[in-house]
Amino acid sequence: MSTNLAEILPAAFREHPIDCALILGSGWGDALAPEMVHAVVPYTDLPDFGAASVVGHKGELLLMTLAGRRVVVFSGRRHYYEGCPIEQVVYPIRLLKALGVKTLLITNAAGGINANFRAGDLMVLTDHMNLTGVNPLRGPHDSEWCTRFPDMSHVYDPELSQILLDQGGETMRQGVYVFSPGPSYETPAEIRAYRTLGADAVGMSTVPEAIMAHAGGIRVAALSCITNMAAGLHSTTLVHEEVLAESESAKPRMAALLKAFVANCPKG
């Protein structure tokens, strides 16, 4: 990896402090209505990251003014199930740290496990379960990034999460997200086990980035769009098109919430 990561970006990224960053899945980047876009970098221009390969994930890094704040947006992400090393999945976090970003909101699509949830709900993450054995901090210890055994008691920042809850209204859900490595969806037996363990939603992203960012001193909040009820909790089979369709209909609400979050997050 490059030693001074931020230098591969256009100078505009380094000219003024950045207030916050968004990592967006499932085409939500298109829904933002920024006052101005200062720079667009296709992921193919970030050699250590590479092109996003999943339908619905665009693959652009943007610097924009949104709600009067200076915001970096990863529109599309890399997933562990694509077969890339975990270092590549969390590359955006290294870049954000190099840019001095202190606040991050991560979004994802997820399957609902909590029986009170419905497709179309939005859920603020209160915690996560990583049962995969995959950890982005595995490997030689980088003492400049974090301690060898970083605490994970409070991954999702309560103050940032409260902004989402305040701005999202009464229908906002809260819960525990379980990281499933994918790319196959879970079996009904796995979902029953996750429910017994206390999970409210399941998805194939977010947790590596959240671990990396929290360990590296970046404040994190995360938001799931419940695009379907998880395996065994509904009568139909799971298909990616259903996830994309539900993500698409959540776009206006998601865009409004992202903007409200950005408007209320701490200044960089």
Hey, which residues are catalytic here?
Answer: 26, 57, 79, 81-82, 109, 204-205, 228, 240
Is 186 a binding residue for ligand HPA by CB under 6 A? The answer is yes
Residues 221-250 that bind ligand HPA (CB under 6 A): 227-228, 230, 238, 243
Residue 52 binds to ligand HPA (criterion: CB under 6 A): no
Q: Is 203 in the site for ligand HPA (CB under 6 A)?
A: yes
Shortest gap between Cβ of 17 and ligand HPA (angstroms)?
Answer: 34
* Tokens matching residue 253: 């609400």
Return d(Cα 56, Cα 120) in angstroms, integer: 17
Dump strand ranges (E) for 154-260: 173-179, 201-203, 219-229
Q: Does 208 bind ligand HPA (CB under 6 A)?
A: no
CB of 47 within 8 A of CB of 84? no
- Answer yes or no: are the C-beta atoms of 113 and 195 closer than 8 Å: yes
Stretch of 35-43, 97-105, 108-116, 251-259 lying at the interface with ligand HPA (CB under 6 A): 108-116
Q: Are strands 69-75 and 20-24 parallel, antiparallel or unpaired?
A: parallel
Question: Which is nearer to ligand HPA, 59 or 203 (by Cβ)?
Answer: 203
Nearer to ligand HPA, 33 or 239 (CB): 239
Task: Say how far apart CA 69 and CA 263 lie, in whole Å.
Answer: 7
Q: Where are the alpha helices (DSSP H) in 169-225?
A: 188-197, 207-215
Among 72, 93, 110, 258, binds ligand HPA (CB under 6 A): 110
Whole-number Å distance between alpha carbons of 95 and 182: 25
Of residues 185, 210, 220, 223, which one binds ligand HPA by CB under 6 A?
Answer: 185
Largest CA distance in the chain: 53
Q: Does residue number 204 form part of the binding site for ligand HPA (CB under 6 A)?
A: yes
Residue range at the interface with ligand HPA (CB under 6 A); choices 28-36, 45-53, 106-114, 158-166: 106-114
In the complex, the smallest distance separating the C-beta of residue 162 from ligand HPA, rounded to whole angstroms, is 25
Please state, as a whole number, how many other Cβ atoms lie within 10 Å of the Cβ of residue 88.
Answer: 18
**Closest residue to ligand HPA in the complex (CB):** 111
The answer to whether residues 57 and 30 touch, using CB atoms and an 8 Å cutoff, is no
Q: Please report, as ranges, the residues that interact with ligand HPA according to CB under 6 A.
A: 109-111, 180, 185-186, 202-204, 227-228, 230, 238, 243
